[in-house]
């Protein structure tokens, strides 16, 4: 054992290796991405790592490996579990031979997600045991425990950290390499009565799962993870129940203060009922401080009803704790003060600051998506058109002045939503924008659907040859794998041609005239057709010399700013100016300027 300073996700990845991991698969998604990346970086060649095309593929691959006795981990963010829910629900019945951890990172806030869904609730729905770490050290330690539980009960186990555990750093105790476990998979043993799901098998499995979960609830009550801390004053008849990052905020808020009885629930499912009864014993009132769903609050309310306990359970359901968004040190301290009838921590009395500039996230300077959106906008000027977006950096194309994202729902949805709009509004020119990674993850089936059902739409692939939003992971189109191999890349053109899209044109969006002409030409055709805008992510290329504004020519019309909204163009002392620290020299603005005042140096990208 030794100390290391690690990010939560890195700790989980390292713990998995230490626990004898054989296979890890996942799909990138904030805040989960670094777990798999850590395993890949520390892979000595003995284990298999892949970014799968999506979470469903990752879970199914891991299931196959786990059937062989391999220790496996699958990583995803909370909405990724929706994609993987089909295999998940069935695998809960079939079970595994080798240990399987499904690492699902939740995102209270949400900071980088579409929903505030709670994987603890998903664990209860799928009847799978769940671990909920509240610190980086717990994240590390729970991995070995979860593998142990998984192999003991032949079931997948969910590990669900939240952002403040995933992306927190701490100095923690980690195992030395000579303490690592090694797992040698036995291999696949054919047994159709075990691995082939049928109604009869499911019925029997359901009975077993319910019985197992009763047993597990008792076992988890005594595991040392679902802890009760006595009140500092034995006469205190109040208690606080919590979990995850919120529990750390509670510890900090109560430092140096008289504290009520505390209950930390690290296994929200199966709920540790015996431990909960010990916690509730002799209390009058309990405050549940949770993020996302009121899981603990509902369980405690249920237990009070079941055992006729006269304890008032408060929390989100009673309006005592906010029911959306992330908890903070401050919000938790205020919740506690109000519950205990103490004076709330004094707010800073400083005068109100001047109006702060809003700083929403924007497409980077030099981002090729800006050029792609602008080209389609120009091509469709004066036409009735709809622009369905999707999940990725390019969702930011919704911001003014581009204003080019009319819908965004979930991964790959845009291509189907476009078809639906087209069915009701046949006079609208319909566009679906999808990134390269999202295309492979879940838009191909939508494209097949469009071709088969004779939709009239233009599919626009924004191909920057990476998964940019989550930190530049490779995907089938990049020709690189997480095992370090260089492989044949899957061609988006060939896929589209193969499914029957007759017109597929590829164009560099930073060549504005060619891009606009291409969109006009292709979108005028009937049926399903595609434009592939191909240009590398601006973060991954070496920037060229910044653009230069000729002050004598510039008439300060601000057309560049008003059309593009590029952070590389600013107003300085009333004049349009280039922010040299950001400009990549992409040259898009030079093609928009009506008086030719902006130029990029010879040898620039355009």
Partner 1 sequence: MKTTNIMLCGVGGQGIVLTSKLIAAAAVERGIPVKSAETIGMAQKGGSVFSFLRLGEGASSPMFPEGSADILIGFEPAEAVRMFPYLKKEGAVIVNTHAIMPVTASLGGSDYNGSEMLDYLKKHARSLTMIDGEKACTEIGSPRALNMVMLGAAVATGLLPFTLAEIEETMKATVKPQFVELNLKALRYINL
CB of 465 to partner 1, least distance (A): 18
Q: Is the Cβ of residue 398 or residue 481 nearer to partner 1 in the bound state?
A: 398
Distance CA 226, CA 2 (A): 26
Q: Report in angstroms how near the CB of residue 567 gets to partner 1 at its nearest.
A: 5
**What's the order of all strands across the beta sheet hosting 503-507?**
385-388, 429-435, 457-463, 528-534, 503-507
The smaller minimum CB distance to partner 1, of residues 543 and 604, is found at: 543
Give the span between the Cα atoms of 290 and 331, in whole angstroms.
11
Cα 286 to Cα 566: distance, rounded to the nearest angstrom: 51
> How far is Cα 469 from Cα 516, in angstroms, rounded to an integer?
26
Distance CA 24, CA 1 (A): 24
Q: How far is the CB of 30 from partner 1 (least distance, A)?
A: 4
DSSP summary character for residue 122? H
The closest of 352, 350, 434, 455 to 389, measured between CA atoms, is: 434
Alpha-carbon distance 122 to 127, whole Å?
8
Which C-beta is closer to partner 1: that of 137 or that of 183? Answer: 137
What sign has the CA pseudo-torsion 119, 121, 127, 128? positive
Identify whether the C-beta of residue 499 lies closer than 8 Å to the C-beta of residue 430. no
* Nearest distance in Å: CB 5, partner 1: 5
Q: Which two tokens stand for residue 333?
A: 């301290």
When the beta carbons of 124 and 564 are compared against partner 1, the nearer one is 564
Q: How far is the CB of 580 from partner 1 (least distance, A)?
A: 7
For partner 1, the binding residues (CB under 8 A) are 5, 30-31, 111-112, 135, 164, 167-171, 245, 248-249, 251-253, 255, 328-330, 333, 345-348, 350-351, 353-354, 356-364, 393, 396, 399-401, 469, 561-562, 565-567, 569-571, 574, 579-582
The upper half-sphere exposure of residue 284, i.e. CA atoms within 13 Å in the direction of its Cβ, equals: 6
Closest CA to 11 of 173, 119, 145, 147: 173
Min dist CB 327 to partner 1, Å, is 10
* C-beta closer to partner 1: residue 158 or 253: 253
* Distance from the Cα of residue 574 to its chain's centroid: 41
Query: Is the Cβ of residue 173 or residue 281 nearer to partner 1 in the bound state?
Result: 173
Dihedral of alpha carbons 84, 87, 90, 92, sign: negative
Closer to partner 1 at the Cβ: 169 or 203?
A: 169
**Nearest distance from residue 468's CB to partner 1, in Å?**
9
Nearer to partner 1, 217 or 246 (CB): 246
CA–CA distance, 77 with 332 (Å, rounded to integer): 25
- Residue 234 or 356: which CB sits closer to partner 1? 356
State the minimum distance, in angstroms, from the CB of residue 413 to partner 1: 18
Do residues 467 and 473 touch, judged by C-beta distance below 8 A? yes
Q: How far is the CB of 569 from partner 1 (least distance, A)?
A: 7
């Amino acid at each position: 054992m030794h100390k290391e300073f690690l990010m939560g996700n890195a700790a989980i990845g390292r713990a998995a290796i230490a626990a004898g991991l054989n296979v890890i698969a996942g799909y990138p998604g904030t805040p989960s991405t670094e777990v798999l990346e850590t395993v890949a970086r520390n892979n000595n060649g003995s284990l298999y790592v892949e970014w799968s095309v999506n979470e469903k593929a990752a879970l199914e691959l891991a299931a196959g490996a786990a059937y062989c006795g391999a220790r496996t981990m699958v990583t995803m963010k909370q909405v990724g579990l929706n994609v993987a829910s089909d295999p998940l629900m069935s695998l809960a019945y079939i079970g595994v031979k080798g240990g399987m951890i499904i690492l699902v990172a939740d995102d209270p806030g949400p900071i980088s997600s579409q929903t505030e869904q709670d994987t603890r609730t998903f664990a209860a729905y799928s009847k799978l045991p769940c671990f909920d770490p509240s610190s980086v050290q717990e994240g590390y330690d729970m991995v070995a425990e979860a593998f142990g539980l998984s192999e003991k009960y032949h079931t997948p186990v969910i590990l669900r950290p939240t952002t403040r555990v995933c992306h927190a750093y701490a100095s923690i105790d980690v195992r030395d390499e000579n303490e690592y476990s090694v797992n040698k998979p036995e291999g696949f043993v054919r047994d159709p009565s075990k691995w082939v799901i049928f109604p009869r098998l499911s019925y029997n499995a359901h009975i077993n799962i319910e019985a197992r979960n009763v047993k597990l609830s008792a076992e988890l009550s005594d595991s040392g993870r679902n802890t009760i801390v006595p009140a500092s004053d034995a006469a205190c008849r109040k208690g606080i129940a919590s979990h995850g990052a919120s529990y750390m905020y509670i510890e900090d808020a109560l430092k140096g203060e008289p504290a009520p009885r505390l209950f930390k629930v690290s296994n929200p499912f199966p709920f540790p009922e015996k431990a909960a009864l010990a916690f509730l014993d002799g209390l009058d009132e309990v405050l549940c401080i949770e993020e996302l769903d009121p899981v603990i609050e509902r369980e405690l309310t249920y237990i009070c009803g079941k055992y006729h306990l006269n304890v008032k359970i408060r929390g989100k359901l009673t309006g005592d704790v906010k029911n959306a968004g992330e908890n903070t040190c401050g919000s938790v301290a205020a919740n506690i003060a109000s519950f205990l009838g103490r004076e709330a921590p004094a707010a800073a009395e400083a005068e109100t600051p001047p109006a702060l500039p809003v700083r929403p996230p924007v497409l980077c300077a030099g981002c090729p998506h800006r050029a792609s959106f602008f080209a389609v906008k120009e091509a469709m000027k004066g036409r009735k058109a709809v622009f369905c977006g999707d999940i990725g950096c390019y969702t930011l194309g919704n911001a003014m002045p581009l204003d080019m994202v009319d819908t965004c729902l979930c991964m790959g949805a845009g291509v189907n939503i476009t078809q639906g709009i087209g069915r009701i509004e046949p006079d609208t020119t319909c566009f679906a924008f999808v990134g390269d990674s999202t295309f492979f993850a879940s838009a191909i089936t939508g494209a097949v659907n469009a071709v088969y059902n004779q939709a009239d739409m233009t599919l626009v692939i924004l191909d920057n040859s990476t998964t940019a939003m989550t930190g530049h992971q490779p995907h089938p189109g990049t020709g690189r794998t997480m095992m370090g191999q260089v492989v044949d890349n899957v061609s988006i053109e060939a896929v589209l041609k193969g499914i029957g899209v007759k017109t597929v044109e590829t164009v560099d969006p930073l060549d504005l005239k060619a891009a606009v002409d291409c969109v006009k030409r292709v979108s005028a055709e009937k049926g399903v057709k595609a434009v592939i805008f191909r240009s590398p992510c601006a973060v991954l290329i070496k920037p060229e010399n910044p653009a230069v504004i000729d002050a004598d020519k510039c008439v300060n019309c601000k057309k560049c700013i008003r059309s593009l909204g590029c952070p590389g163009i600013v107003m300085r002392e009333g004049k349009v100016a280039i922010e040299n620290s950001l400009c990549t020299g992409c040259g898009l603005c030079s093609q928009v300027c009506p008086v030719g005042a902006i130029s990029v140096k010879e040898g620039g990208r355009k």
